[in-house]
A and B are shown apart, each in its own frame.
Chain A
Amino acid sequence: MRGSAFRYAALTARGLAPNRWDLVALPLVLGVLVLAGVAARQTLAPLATLTGPAVSLDPVNLPEYALRTTLRMLAAMAASLVFTFTYGTLAAKSRRAEMVLVPLLDVLQSVPVLGYISFTIVFFLSLFPGRIAGAEAAAVFAIFTSQAWNMAFSFYQSLRTVPRDLNEVTRNFRFSAWQRFWQLEVPFAMPGLVWNMMMSMSGGWFFVVASEAITVGDKTIVLPGIGAYLAEAIQEKNLAAVGWVVLAMVLVIILYDQLLFRPLVAWADKFRFELTAAQTTPESWFLKVLVRSRFLGGLGGSVGHLGAALLRLRLPAGRSERPSRVRGPGSNRLIDALWFTVVGLVALYAVWRIVEFIASELGWSDVWTVFGLDAITLLRVIVLIVIAALIWVPIGVAIGLRPRLAEKVQPLAQFLAAFPANLLFPVFVIAIVHFHANPDIWLSPLMILGTQWYILFNVIAGATAYPSDFLEAAANFRMRGWQWWRKVMLPGIFPYFITGAITASGGAWNASIVAEAVSWGNVNVTAHGLGAYIAKTTADGDYPKIVLGIAVMSLTVMAFNRLLWRPLYAYAERRLRLD
């Protein structure tokens, strides 16, 4: 997997310059959330607290809970794939759609995942009144929002970069749009997509845990699963149960990796676009078993047969390749203008609704409070990234320069990145309570507990890929100490570090909502920050405040990306790439 971390991450942190459409996209996203929240609040009279099956702390139940959690993850992944194929295709094929959809995706990515659930849970509950299905749908949707955006981005990017000659082949041989999609576009996008699915999955565990037991206003939703089990354990102050759930999660992630992702990555390797043979081919024992077993092989064969027949379909019938009529630029411009106007008006309407909604209960003082809290959380994220960099860059380089060690550590780092850090929060809470530590300082590490591994992981990848002639040249010129770091190693791993740091900082913002306010039984420990604010207002069901908090956090994340990460990334791309 070396090297690919950087390559595929590059797909998401694309170099698209910010444009005026961003100004349109943000109100659109928030506007829809507000409308969902308002509509649901109006239609839904106090709903009887959902009593799903009670969660028992008996470890015997854990396999079942783990299975349920895993199924939620799979359902969300399926939804994300459908979303990716439609949204990504639309954005890549239609110029007008692209102008709106791409900035929209950027905003969707910046909205904190747990923010979505605050709004949509009421909406989903009203879809299935009185039944647990609504809560299930809300949880799956929350996981979906943590997975779908980067997959769609990756797919869109791949579609935009399909090699011209292959595209010409499909047109020369008169493939239908349907055939081209499955024969060229999806296979070409596959390696990047699989990589992003893995990243999404490892991010997803965190949110599935957080979304299985959630309180919005007067509604407390508990869905049997790993997250609910953890919530119950915290409620009961049962440390042994926390131990059990950690163990269960470890096993689930290992199984998931071995049975789903290893095979997927090994299989996707054949879609690599380079025409040169790879030095190391990803392998999966499970895929081998699948392919070699006669029964399963036969099954796979007939499924493949069916698939091939499907691909042969010339869908949509007769729409293979229509001669492109040359349209006058005049009519085109007119339609463009109309389109811009419509989108602009909708965005204005959304702004108006949001402002109206917030202003109905809140004043300027609330806004300033929220910005103040935002600054605190921002400071936390920056300090944490710096500390994580100081710790993990030297360690990552040391590991990466020892290939045999790197081979062993890399899967561990991947595993740690996937492990939902919120399972470990109780341990920290107990320690903070016990030592009377300052929560403003000591709760902070929780924000980066789960995502710091992306930095380690990417730095190792960078150091492993570092050309050995450079190292030899440096040794030959007797460079060492600070000079060695500054002139030799740091520029070489910088692009990888940036990739890891972008992921880590995005994760930290998301985690702040869970990490700044934690509890153990009836003890609540809260830090000052926007995350805690959103968590509290969500628990109170105070919608105008939730909207305000989420809007400010989304804005900050977007600004942070635009003003810091993208320029750094562009610089790394331009100046410091070694290949």
Chain B
Amino acid sequence: MRVMTADTRTDETVLTLRGVSKGFERGASQLRVLADVDLTLRDGEIVGLLGRSGSGKSTLLRIIAGLIPPTTGEVIYRGRPVIGPAEGVAMVFQTFALFPWLTVLENVEAGLEALAVPEKESRRRALSAIDLIGLDGFESAYPRELSGGMRQRVGFARALVVDPTILLMDEPFSALDVLTAETLRTDLIDLWLERRLPTKSVLLVTHNIEEAVFMCDRILVFSSNPGRVISETKVPFPHPRNRLDPAFRQMVDDIYAQMTARPGGQGKEKPPGLQLGSRLPNVSTNTLAGLIETLAAAPYLGRADLPEIARTLQLQIDELFPVAELLQYLGFAEISQGDIVLKPGAKTFAEADPETRKKLFAEHLLAGIPLAQRIKRVLDERPGHQAPRVRFEQELEDHLTDAAAEETLDAVIAWGRYAELFAYDDDSQTFSLENPQG
């Protein structure tokens, strides 16, 4: 493992992305997951790609690594376009992606074996990487014997042992518990600051805003469907950063506001109205009711700051945003500038008994979710008041991937069942208007 002694960092460009887009064939049309991404990665910086699931940020990481080709645009690395897995680009995975049948040492050596490094040197470098990352003593352990944090350390050691120029990190801390994740972040930042990593620059994909502000020098915020860069923020704070520092907090709040803002909607954002083919998050009605009750009660009394809610309820943005957004689609709440404000309907809902809640929810569901509307209308119009699932699935698949279409339909089925708008029989895969007892 090469250790940088002097400050060799320059402003030299390490990697450039020009107009990178990625789409998937969907019948005659194309489903775009990434649109026109430009990005420059410079020597000595940690760049964060921040976005929600479905924003294509992990796809972008794989394009940079040369694991999948972009549909248009190009990735320039070492002066040449990337085609196929590039040398000097190492990746750390959310799932750790360790070989369960290899020991810690063998896992770390695996990356070197592929480079045909002689056995002795390979052993020396692997041991030194293990040492660097704080794994000494675990060399002969198998991954299943390790805790999550230790496993991810193996992931880091395996990536660093090949002396990568660029380190790509795909949500490396999101599968870890809060305390473990924090330890790993600080350890990594310390190594980075002490210039003990062989890497020129780091690209971190995350959906955790605080994590991005805590670690990165520059943050790119991605919008969803299709993913594109909507803002770029420089983080000027020196390390070690203090999460309670007001400036730190302000930046987190600002990014929250950016991420809840809608493209095109300037000033007071109006929800862009759902299309029939919009992807819907599979949010349980219990969660929805829980959030409404929390927001309606003291101390929020109908208005709250999203970052604060996230902190208090211990929710990641990937968990909070879909619920908040669904409230907005259903006309129960309004989101603007990182704040969520309940509408009168929601306050009625919070105080109502279960029967009234269902009725109210049904009204809002029909008014706010076009897909629910469509299902109800088709069932009303058909003589037998029945329709197969495929009918709607096919309609959705014009706009969504198969998995997304399935998830969306499942979500609407759950809401429709709760609202008693329609019934669904999974055995025959059909919608109907009857209730089983009827």
Contact = CB atoms under 8 A, between A and B. Distances in A.
Contacts of B111: 173
B107 to A, nearest CB: 9
Contacts of A538: none
Interface of B is mostly: loop
Interface in A183-237: 183-184, 187, 190
Contacts of B119: 312
B67 interface: yes
B91 A183 contact: no
B97 to A, nearest CB: 4
Contacts of A187: 99, 101
B362 to A, nearest CB: 30
Interface stretch (B2-10, B46-54, B140-148): B140-148
B114 A176 contact: yes
B345 interface: no
A168 B93 contact: yes
Given A172-B65, A179-B113, A184 B99 contact: yes
Nearest to A272: B100
A311 interface: yes
B144 A168 contact: no
A279 interface: no
Given A270-B142, A323-B83, A173 B100 contact: no
B262 to A, nearest CB: 32
B100 A271 contact: yes
A276 B144 contact: yes
A414 B132 CA distance: 50
Given A168-B67, A172-B89, A173-B110, A312 B144 contact: no
A270 B90 contact: no
A132 B5 CA distance: 74
Interface string B94-114: 110111110000000011011
Contacts of B89: 172
B87 A183 contact: no
Task: Indicate the member of B83, B100, B111 with the most A CB atoms within 10 Å.
Answer: B100
A274 B144 contact: yes
Contacts of B100: 270-275
Contacts of B91: 168-169, 172
A275 B143 contact: yes
Nearest to A166: B97
A579 interface: no
A171 B65 CA distance: 9
Nearest to A176: B114
Contacts of B62: 168
A271 B91 CA distance: 23
Interface in A495-525: none
B84 interface: yes
B69 interface: yes
Given A183-B99, A275-B100, A323-B84, A169 B93 contact: yes
B101 A271 contact: yes
A282 B90 CA distance: 36
Contacts of A166: 97, 99
B115 A174 contact: yes
A26 B87 CA distance: 47
A314 B113 CA distance: 9
A275 B65 CA distance: 26
Contact of B84 (A176, A273, A314, A321): A321
Given A169-B93, A275-B100, A179 B84 contact: no
- Which of B69, B110, B142 has the most chain A CB atoms inside 10 A of its CB? B110
Contacts of B73: none
B202 interface: no
A326 interface: yes
A453 interface: no
A379 B85 CA distance: 58
A278 to B, nearest CB: 8
B298 interface: no
B260 to A, nearest CB: 30
B389 to A, nearest CB: 14
B162 interface: yes
B116 interface: yes
B431 to A, nearest CB: 19
A311 B67 contact: no
Interface in B407-424: none
B69 A326 contact: yes
B162 A173 contact: yes
A175 interface: yes
Residue among A168, A169, A171, A175 having the largest count of chain B Cβ atoms under 10 Å:
A169
A172 B85 contact: yes
Given A171-B85, A274-B144, A183 B110 contact: yes
Interface string B116-150: 10010000000000000000000000111100000
Contacts of A170: 114
Contacts of B84: 321-324
A472 interface: no
A167 to B, nearest CB: 9
Given A275-B144, A276-B144, A174 B99 contact: no
Contacts of A337: none
Interface string A261-298: 00000000011111111000000000000000000000
A307 to B, nearest CB: 13
Among B67, B91, B94, B114, find the residue whose CB has the most chain A CB atoms closer than 10 A: B114
B163 to A, nearest CB: 12
Interface in A305-331: 311-312, 314, 321-324, 326
A314 B114 CA distance: 7
B69 A324 contact: yes
Contacts of B116: 312, 314
A312 B99 CA distance: 17
Contacts of A314: 114, 116
A275 B143 CA distance: 7
Given A172-B67, A314-B116, A322-B84, A165 B95 contact: yes
12 contacts: A163-B95, A166-B99, A168-B91, A168-B93, A168-B97, A173-B114, A174-B85, A174-B87, A179-B113, A271-B101, A275-B98, A321-B84
A-B pairs, top 3 by smallest CB distance, nearest first, are: A323-B83, A165-B97, A323-B84
Interface of A: 163, 165-166, 168-176, 179, 183-184, 187, 190, 270-277, 311-312, 314, 321-324, 326
Given A277-B145, A311-B113, A314-B114, 18 more contacts: A165-B97, A168-B67, A168-B93, A172-B91, A173-B111, A173-B114, A173-B115, A173-B162, A175-B114, A187-B99, A270-B142, A272-B100, A273-B100, A274-B100, A275-B151, A314-B116, A323-B69, A323-B84
